[in-house]
Amino acid sequence: MKIAMIGTGYVGLVSGVCFSDFGHEVVCVDKHEGKIAGLRDGRIPIYEPGLDALLARNVAEGRLSFTTDLAEAVHGADAVFIAVGTPSRRGDGHADLSYVYAAAEEIARSATAPTVVVTKSTVPVGTNREVARILRETRPEFAWGVASNPEFLREGAAIDDFMKPDRVVVGLDADGSDQARQVMGDIYKPLFLRDFPIVYTDLESAEMIKYAANAFLAIKITFINEVAALCEKVGADVKAVSKGIGLDGRIGAKFLHAGPGYGGSCFPKDTNAFAQTGQDFGQRLRLVESTIEVNEAVKARMVDKIAALSGGSLKGKTVTVLGVTFKPNTDDMRDAPALAIVPALQAAGATVRAVDPQGRREGEHLLPGVEWLDDPYVAAEGAHMVALLTEWNQFRALDLKRLAAAMAEPRLADLRNVYGPDEARAAGFLAYDAVGRQGFG
Ligand code: NAD
């Protein structure tokens, strides 16, 4: 199959590389000239483990190429995937669909033959119908196929998620669905042959599946974060509570780790867009709305925790933040909890230093006034607090004695529950706090 992938970001690049590894011929398109020039030189614009080797192999074998010329990529393609961004629209929580619609129009204008247009971007109910309308209105002479194919990969584990998905969802339009169904079946055949489930449905249901899945996960994380706050009050340990409830097969152990609140490029914007869809259709999603609100409170609670651990005031204190990306194994800083927590610490009078294996490049733009260092022990020298915000492997097995010894006042805010009070006390920390557990000091 010949595939054009419009948008070469976290989703488009991984999808394009993986499709080429399935044996398809893929052309990845992006408007960003620097990105494409870099990719042609073998430079990957994002940090995603394993992507460089897979990309190099498929380029070398002649199945994968990069261009800024959308028309060139669309020419002769059996399917054109739209994988552009759908950020939150400024001012309200709606998804900004302008990139998706612009891409659909560009595809229609540049196509020399009818093709199947597949939306991989996360888009609210009704968007694929609008894409179909744009295609048919711009080029009425072509019998367009339209499919919705939301993506569920997780940054940091994206290749594995794409190659071994829990499911592939394909939404089809009643008009022209035979052609689209055939093309989608052929594209995903390598997964189908290995028995990964493919859910065929209508366009609206496919769009709903993506938002409902993300909202459910955001609710689950937020639930345990709220339970964690109560655990602290009543003397319970959220780690034991998570384990105890997660072993129930109906609940499941994943997404039950208490922490500083969800962030990233998907959950915040997708919960907002989902809540807006509910309001637009006069069917409010009150659980989702509450989740958004509680998640903001969770982040604010982290700032209060750090201040309390510092004796109530952060004025004149130096706080070393370990990890600023929204989770480990990505350089993505979009809506990371650090973007709320670090400025709040600075506003409370603290000087902030930060260490992050991949987040520094973005962090330098997004977090002004932060001093960046590469080594956690160096960053802890003379500090009054270490706050662990992202559980990178590098921060999971720190020599706590060495860390405490380097600090002016050894206090540890372990916002990912990596260590424990006993370990912190034994290492010489004066004060320790975690999320949903009993600290000291
Ligand atoms: P991104 O911002 O990393 O990438 C989008 C890319 O599209 C950018 O490089 C941009 O230059 C390019 N682009 C925009 N308009 C274009 C056009 N007309 N022609 C060519 N290129 C164009 O975004 P992302 O994180 O890859 O997300 C893409 C979509 O996938 C979003 O809807 C997102 O919600 C969804 N999604 C993301 C993830 C994730 O983990 N990042 C997971 C699942 C779904």
Rounded Cα gap, residues 45 and 256, in angstroms = 31
**What are the Cα distances from residue 172, in Å, to 7, 121, 145, 200?**
22, 15, 9, 7
H/E element holding 295? helix 286-309
Separation of CA 120 and ligand 1 centre (Å): 9
Rounded Cα gap, residues 15 and 18, in angstroms = 5
Q: Which residue has the higher pLDDT, 67 or 176?
A: 67
Rounded Cα gap, residues 96 and 49, in angstroms = 29
Is residue 29 lining ligand 1, measured as CB closer than 6 Å?
yes
Rounded Cα gap, residues 359 and 147, in angstroms = 35
Whole-prediction pTM: 0.96
The residue nearest atom 2 of ligand 1, judged by CA position, is: 85
Which residues on neighbouring strands pair with residue 354, listed in sequence order? 321, 372
Rounded Cα gap, residues 34 and 83, in angstroms = 18
379-426 per-position pLDDT tens digit: 999 999 999 999 999 999 999 999 999 999 999 999 999 999 999 999
SS3 170: strand
Q: What does the pLDDT read at residue 91?
A: 80
Same-fold call for 2-196 versus 236-441? yes
Q: What does the pLDDT read at residue 49?
A: 96
Residue among 29, 68, 84, 332 whose CB has most ligand 1 atoms within 8 A, to mutate: 84
Q: Say if residues 93 and 273 touch (Cβ distance below 8 Å).
A: yes
Is residue 220 lining ligand 1, measured as CB closer than 6 Å?
no
- pLDDT higher than threshold 80 for residue 2: yes
Nearest Cα to Cα of residue 97 among 277, 267, 263, 217: 277
282-294 per-position pLDDT tens digit: 999 999 999 999 9
Rounded Cα gap, residues 174 and 371, in angstroms = 56
The residue nearest atom 41 of ligand 1, judged by CA position, is: 10
Is residue 173 lining ligand 1, measured as CB closer than 6 Å?
no
Tokens of 401: 């004695």
CA dihedral 367, 368, 371, 377 (to 10 degrees): -10
Q: What does the pLDDT read at residue 176?
A: 61
The residue nearest atom 20 of ligand 1, judged by CA position, is: 30
Rounded Cα gap, residues 105 and 99, in angstroms = 10
The domain ranges of the chain are 2-196, 236-441
Categorize the per-residue pLDDT at 152 as very low, low, confident or very high, splitting at 50, 70 and 90. Answer: very high
The residues carrying an active-site annotation are 266
Is residue 7 lining ligand 1, measured as CB closer than 6 Å?
yes
Nearest Cα to Cα of residue 261 among 232, 218, 307, 213: 218
203-216 per-position pLDDT tens digit: 999 999 999 999 99
* Neighbour-count burial of 287, counting CB atoms closer than 10 A to its CB (0-12 exposed, 13-18 middle, 19+ buried): middle
Name the phi and psi angles at 197, rounded to 5: -70, 135
12-62 per-position pLDDT tens digit: 999 999 999 999 999 999 999 999 999 999 999 999 999 999 999 999 999
Is residue 30 lining ligand 1, measured as CB closer than 6 Å?
yes
Amino acid identity at 122: T
For domain 2-196, the question of CATH label 2.160.10.10 is answered with no
57-114 per-position pLDDT tens digit: 999 999 999 999 999 999 999 999 999 999 999 888 999 999 999 999 999 999 999 9
Give the CATH fold of the 236-441 domain.
Answer: Rossmann fold (3.40.50)
- pLDDT higher than threshold 70 for residue 193: yes
The residue nearest atom 10 of ligand 1, judged by CA position, is: 7
